[in-house]
Amino acid sequence: MLAPMMRLAVAGKGGVGKSVVSATLARLLARRGHKVLVLDSDTLPGLTISLGVDPPEQPPLLDAVEKNDKGRWRLRKGIGPVRAIQRYSTPAPDGVRLLQLGKLSREGSAPLFAATNAYYQIVHRISHDERTGRASSLQDWVLLGDLPAGARQVAYDWAPYAERFLLVVEPTSQSMMTARRIARLVTGMRADADIALVVNKARSAAEAEKVATFLEREPLAVVPFDHAVRLAEREGAALIDHAPACEAVAAIGRLADRLEADSLVT
Amino acid sequence: MKIVVAGKGGVGKTTVSGTVSRALAQAGHRVLALDADTNPMLGVSLGLGPEQTDLLVAVREGLKTGETEHERTTEGFVERFGRDAPDGVRLVVASRIDQPNPGCSCCGVSAEQLLGEVEGGDGQIVVGDLEAGIGTVLRLQEGQADVIVVVAQPTAKSLEVARRALELAPERAPRVIVVANRVRDDEDLAVIHAALGEDHEYVIVPDDEAIAEADREGRAAIDVDPDSAGVRALIDLADRLAGIAAPA
> What's the rounded Cα separation, in Å, for the pair B182 and B131?
20
Give the closest-approach CA distance of B88 to chain A in angstroms: 23
Could you say which of B9, B135, B138 has the minimum Cβ distance to residue A13? B9
Q: Which chain B residue is nearest to residue A16, measuring alpha carbons? A: B10
* pLDDT, average across residues B203-229: 98
Give the pLDDT band of residue B120 (cuts 50, 70, 90). low
Q: Tell if the CB–CB gap between A173 and B217 is shorter than 8 Å.
A: yes
Sheet with B124-130: strands ordered across: B82-84, B90-93, B30-36, B124-130, B2-6, B147-152, B175-183, B201-206
Residue B213 is predicted with a pLDDT of: 98
More confident residue, B96 or B41: B41
Q: Tell if the CB–CB gap between A171 and B54 is shorter than 8 Å.
A: no
> What's the rounded Cα separation, in Å, for the pair A190 and B43?
29
Contacts of A118 by beta carbon, 8 Å cutoff, 6+ apart: A61, A62, A64, A65, A73, A75, A84, A88
* pLDDT, average across residues B156-180: 96
Give the pLDDT band of residue B75 (cuts 50, 70, 90). confident
Break chain B into its structural domains and give their ranges.
2-242
Express each pLDDT in A219-257 by its tens digit.
Answer: 999 999 999 999 999 999 999 999 999 999 999 999 999
Is B217 in the A-facing interface, judged by CB distances under 8 Å? yes
Q: Does the structure show a pLDDT above 80 at B82?
A: yes
Distance separating the N- and C-terminal Cα atoms of chain A: 14
Residue A3 is predicted with a pLDDT of: 41
Query: Which of A107, A170, A174, A210 to mutate to probe the B interface, most B CBs <10 Å?
Result: A174
Q: Tell if the CB–CB gap between B133 and A149 is shorter than 8 Å.
A: yes
Q: Which chain A residue is nearest to residue B154, measuring alpha carbons? A: A234
Give the closest-approach CA distance of B37 to chain A in angstroms: 9
Q: Tell if the CB–CB gap between B39 and A150 is shorter than 8 Å.
A: yes
Distance separating the N- and C-terminal Cα atoms of chain B: 12
* pLDDT, average across residues A260-264: 86
Q: Among A85, A98, A93, which Cα is nearest to A28's?
A: A93
Contacts of A221 by beta carbon, 8 Å cutoff, 6+ apart: A198, A199, A251, A252, A254, A255, A258
**Residue A167 with chain B: CB contacts under 8 Å:** none
Bridge partners of A168? A198
> What's the rounded Cα separation, in Å, for the pair B64 and B95?
13
Summary mean pLDDT of chain B? 88
Could you say which of B41, B138, B160 has the minimum Cβ distance to residue A174? B41
Q: Does the structure show a pLDDT above 60 at A201?
A: yes
Q: Does the structure show a pLDDT above 60 at A47?
A: yes
Q: Does the structure show a pLDDT above 70 at A265?
A: no
Give the pLDDT band of residue A2 (cuts 50, 70, 90). very low
Express each pLDDT in A155-200 by its tens digit.
Answer: 888 999 999 999 999 999 999 999 999 999 999 988 889 999 999 9
Residue B99 is predicted with a pLDDT of: 53
Give the closest-approach CA distance of A139 to chain B in angstroms: 31
Q: Are B103 and B36 in contact (CB under 8 A)?
A: yes
Give the closest-approach CA distance of A80 to chain B in angstroms: 27
The DSSP secondary-structure symbol of A167 reads E
* pLDDT, average across residues A111-137: 86
> What's the rounded Cα separation, in Å, for the pair A208 and A239?
22
> What's the rounded Cα separation, in Å, for the pair A198 and A183?
13
Residue B65 is predicted with a pLDDT of: 55
Residue B94 is predicted with a pLDDT of: 79
Residue B70 is predicted with a pLDDT of: 64
Residue B79 is predicted with a pLDDT of: 77
Express each pLDDT in A95-113 by its tens digit.
Answer: 999 999 988 877 777 788 8
Bridge partners of A228? none
**Residue B38 with chain A: CB contacts under 8 Å:** 150-152
Give the pLDDT band of residue A128 (cuts 50, 70, 90). confident
Q: Does the structure show a pLDDT above 80 at B112?
A: no
The CATH topology of domain B2-242 is: Rossmann fold (3.40.50)
> What's the rounded Cα separation, in Å, for the pair B155 and B11?
9
Give the pLDDT band of residue B188 (cuts 50, 70, 90). very high
Express each pLDDT in A131-155 by its tens digit.
Answer: 887 766 788 899 999 999 888 888 8
Q: Does the structure show a pLDDT above 80 at B17?
A: yes
Q: Which chain B residue is nearest to residue A154, measuring alpha carbons? A: B98
Residue A132 is predicted with a pLDDT of: 85
Q: Tell if the CB–CB gap between A44 and B100 is shorter than 8 Å.
A: no
The domain A7-265 is placed in CATH, from the list 1.20.1250.20, 1.10.3720.10, 3.40.50.10800, 3.40.50.300, at 3.40.50.300
* pLDDT, average across residues B74-99: 80
The 10 Å Cβ neighbour count of residue A150 is: 25
Residue A104 is predicted with a pLDDT of: 82
Q: Does the structure show a pLDDT above 80 at B80?
A: no
Express each pLDDT in A57-88 by its tens digit.
Answer: 888 999 999 999 998 999 998 888 888 889 99
Q: The pTM is what?
A: 0.92
Residue B71 is predicted with a pLDDT of: 64
Give percent of chain A with pLDDT exceeding 90. 69
Q: Which chain A residue is nearest to residue B38, measuring alpha carbons? A: A152
